[in-house]
A and B are shown apart, each in its own frame.
Chain A
Amino acid sequence: MRLEPVANPGLLRRLGLPAAALVATVVTGSLLALSAGADPLATLGLIVTGAVGSKFAALETLNRATPLIFTGLAVAVAFRAKLWNIGAEAQLYAGALVTAVLGAHPIVTGVPGVALIGLAAALAGALVLLGPVLLKTRLGVDEVVTTLLLNFVLLLVVSMLLEGVLKDPMGMGWPKSAPVAKSVRLPRLIEGLRLHWGFGLALIAAGLVWLMQARMRLGYEIRAVGLNRAAARFAGVPVGAVLVKTALISGGLAALAGYSEVAGLKGTLTLDLSPGFGYTGVIVAMLAALHPGGVVVAALFVAGVFVGSDAMSRAAGVPSYIADLLLASALLYMVLAMQLVRYRVVWR
Chain B
Amino acid sequence: MTDLLDIFLSASFWVALVRIASPLIFATMGELICERAGVLNLGIEGIMVFGAFAGWLTVYLGGGLWLGVGVAMLAGMAFGLLHGVLTVPFGLSQHVVGLGITLLATAAAYFAYRLALPEVTSPPKITPFAPWPIPGLAAIPLIGEGFFAQTPLTYAGFAVAGLTALVLFRTPLGLALRAAGENPAAVEAQGLSVTALRIGAVAVGSGLMAVGGAFLTLSAFSSFFFEMVNGRGWICIALVVFGGWKPGKAVLGALLFAAFDAGQIRLQQTALGATLPYQVFLMAPYLLSILALVVMSRRASVPAALMVPFNKGER
> Which residues of A are interface residues toward B (Cβ below 8 A)?
1-3, 32, 35-36, 84, 86, 135, 139-142, 144-146, 148-153, 156-157, 159-160, 163-164, 279, 282-283, 286, 317, 319, 321-322, 324-325, 327-329, 331-332, 335-336, 339, 343
Contacts of A327 in B (CB 8 A): 103
Contacts of A150 in B (CB 8 A): 286, 290
From known contacts A152-B231, A335-B93, infer whether A3 and B311 are also in contact, taking CB-CB under 8 Å.
yes
Contacts of B115 in A (CB 8 A): 35-36, 319
- Is A319 a contact partner of B111 (Cβ separation < 8 A)? yes
Whether, in the assembled complex, B294 has its beta carbon less than 8 Å from a beta carbon of chain A, the answer is: yes
Contacts of B111 in A (CB 8 A): 32, 319, 321-322, 324-325
Q: How far is the CB of A149 from chain B (nearest CB, A)?
A: 5
Q: How far is the CB of A309 from chain B (nearest CB, A)?
A: 11
Whether, in the assembled complex, B99 has its beta carbon less than 8 Å from a beta carbon of chain A, the answer is: yes
- Is B282 a contact partner of A156 (Cβ separation < 8 A)? yes
Complex Cα spacing A152 to B229, Å: 12
- Is B283 a contact partner of A336 (Cβ separation < 8 A)? no
> Given contacts A152-B231, A279-B103, could you give 6 more A-B pairs where the C-beta distance is less than 8 Å?
A2-B89, A145-B238, A157-B279, A163-B279, A328-B101, A335-B97
Complex Cα spacing A336 to B42, Å: 17
Q: How far is the CB of B228 from chain A (nearest CB, A)?
A: 14
Contact check: which of B104, B106, B234, B280 meets A145 at CB < 8 Å? Answer: B234
Total contacting residues, chain B, CB less than 8 A: 49
Contact check: which of A84, A141, A164, A321 meets B277 at CB < 8 Å? Answer: A164
Q: How far is the CB of A163 from chain B (nearest CB, A)?
A: 7
From known contacts A2-B313, A160-B277, infer whether A321 and B100 are also in contact, taking CB-CB under 8 Å.
no
Q: How far is the CB of A43 from chain B (nearest CB, A)?
A: 13
Interface string of B248-291 (1 = CB under 8 A from A): 00000000000000000000000000000101101100110110
Whether, in the assembled complex, B241 has its beta carbon less than 8 Å from a beta carbon of chain A, the answer is: yes
- Is A339 a contact partner of B97 (Cβ separation < 8 A)? no
From known contacts A152-B286, A324-B103, infer whether A319 and B110 are also in contact, taking CB-CB under 8 Å.
yes
From known contacts A144-B42, A163-B277, A324-B110, infer whether A282 and B99 are also in contact, taking CB-CB under 8 Å.
yes
**Closest partner residue, chain B, to A37 (CB atom):** B115
Q: How far is the CB of A154 from chain B (nearest CB, A)?
A: 9
Whether, in the assembled complex, B141 has its beta carbon less than 8 Å from a beta carbon of chain A, the answer is: no
Q: How far is the CB of A311 from chain B (nearest CB, A)?
A: 16
- Is A3 a contact partner of B106 (Cβ separation < 8 A)? no
Can you list 30 contacts pairing A with B, beta carbon distance less than 8 Å? A2-B313, A2-B314, A35-B115, A139-B298, A141-B293, A144-B42, A144-B95, A146-B290, A146-B293, A149-B231, A149-B235, A149-B238, A149-B287, A150-B286, A152-B231, A152-B283, A153-B283, A156-B283, A164-B277, A282-B99, A319-B118, A321-B114, A324-B106, A328-B100, A328-B101, A328-B103, A329-B104, A335-B100, A339-B90, A339-B91
